[in-house]
A and B are shown apart, each in its own frame.
Chain A
Amino acid sequence: MAEVELIEKALKGDLQAFNDLVLTYQEMAFNLAYRMLGSTAAAADATQEAVISMYRKLESYRGGSFKSWFLRIVSNECLDELRRQKRRPSISIDQENEDGEIMESASWMKDDSLPYEDQISNAELEKALTHCLDGLEEKFKTVIVLVDVSGEDYETVAGTIRVPIGTIKSRLARARQKMQDCLQGYGELLPEKFRLSSDEVDD
């Protein structure tokens, strides 16, 4: 059944049509929530809340991209959850160095005892990327997750977070630059292409 038809039926109160729409987009929604929140349980809660919220607000849907509308509700739920987490801070994964200072990057995760070749693994890279994503500000994280992780185009993202495309471009460029800066903390853990150096000149 076409999406438009499902939406019309859902608007008339057809729960089955609504659930079909949920099934269509739930994986994408959950993935976004997971990358925003960094936890499967929190992502599941946020996605469920978003679905309930979407059902309640269904009458306010005024056409346009249903996917953007759904993703907007999910991202709002995630932002609310992130704010709640800030009000109730949990144990940080940041570690203290020998001087007792909090280290800004996740370079503490590297294990120097391992051979160099073994350090470069997909698991390590994933940890580094996840940690750097978590360290981004919400507005940058939302954009980079939607564009680079979920693969959405600028228009969808602009519709999702309700900002102009120009703002999306700007935020995305900053988010990528911040990610790159963060990944520098991992140094040689990363593939050579990630290793940027300001003190060495490339030949």
Chain B
Amino acid sequence: MPGAGAQTATESISAEDQELYRLERVTSPVPTDRNTVPHAQGVRRVWGVSTEPAFIENLYANPAAADAWRSTSGLFGGLIFASNEIDALKVHAEVEQDALPADTWAQAYFGSNYAGGYLLGPELHLLCACDVRGASDALRADDSVKPYVIDHTVFEQVQYSLADLSQLGQEIRRFLDESDLRSNGYGTTIEANVVELFVGPQSTAGLEQEVANRFAGRPVRVTAQPEDVAPTVSKTEPLIFNLVEGGQAMDNSSTGLPLDCTSGFAVQGGYGPFILSAGHCGYAGNSWYQGGSQVGVQTSRNFGGYFDGSLITTYGYRNNYGHFHWNANYYGESISFVQNSNNIVGQSICQTGYKQTGLDGFNTTCGTTTQNNYTPPYGDTPFQPVMLLSNYGTIGGDSGAAVVWPTALYGWGAVGVHSGGNSTVGVDSRLDYILWIWGIQLTPP
């Protein structure tokens, strides 16, 4: 019987490695589709092994002859690999295992100039928009990072910090939203030190040129993709895991209409989870639906005084998701903070009502808040002069919608619940008042 680490004539990978990485031979051909090889190439590049298409195809088609293996635990990126690639994979895996302390160290050491880190083959690359001379010695002096990782760390000087690229990403996103341009989404590509915008067949024609014009001289790269890989979800479609969130079109089954109002925010309190919407949209006991399944039953209605709000208990029906539907591309936006509406006047806020913004949400509807002491001319009882008035338009169906404040630095702020208005003004209840008076809080993202 061979000892640990020994190899027999029939075992091309040691028994120790087989056990440690839970490896098994692949003996039968593995079905592939047109995405298999491109996907494998991408993963293999990162792991530092061959990206040759013919080699990869042979591993799948003739695994026994190619001496193909894989980890039953999904290690090594789930790759099917040849036995002679195991050493390269192990190096990458071990660097990856202990890379986090080095990356954390780099963030602290480089501060606001930190430009990210990435693994490629056997190396950990740490980037800075600064002079990186001396960084390697400084890292070596840090006890929290294993010497093995330090030996495989490469420092790179780049032009843009991660904060620069994040800021640029927000600008691109606003540009796309405000210009109603459709894309496959964008992301920061650390390795290339750029923001990468992806376009597919259904993306807006001429988008590449539009972006080139708008962001000339900025680190933006447009990459064409063969498919529209970014899934779109409308405000009437259900989310996975039976989730329900703000900004979705809802149906009150008591009215006979297909859609009645828009959801505000996912909230929770001592009585459990709720979806917050507008009070005038329904009455206690009404059943509400979204995406073909029940959101829950309305338990509360307040239409006058300090706010126009309702609570729909989702307990036993849906899972509360502390996010909101901005548009069909960004339908799981997280909320960073609840805005204190005492100082919201003069700020630009946006409503997410399904009617005005459209079921895809692409008709972005924002305006400036002009009053935080407005009294609307309606209500079961007179309103106190505490409502928000803004100069954005609204149509029937928007009521209850999440009203949010987009900020470049801090993300989305939750401002209010849409109540009413007309084609030129919007009226909202202050979210901070509703949360305070009803003793509830936003469901954490």
Is the A/B pair a real complex?
A: no
Q: B-contacting residues of A (Cβ < 8 Å)? A: none
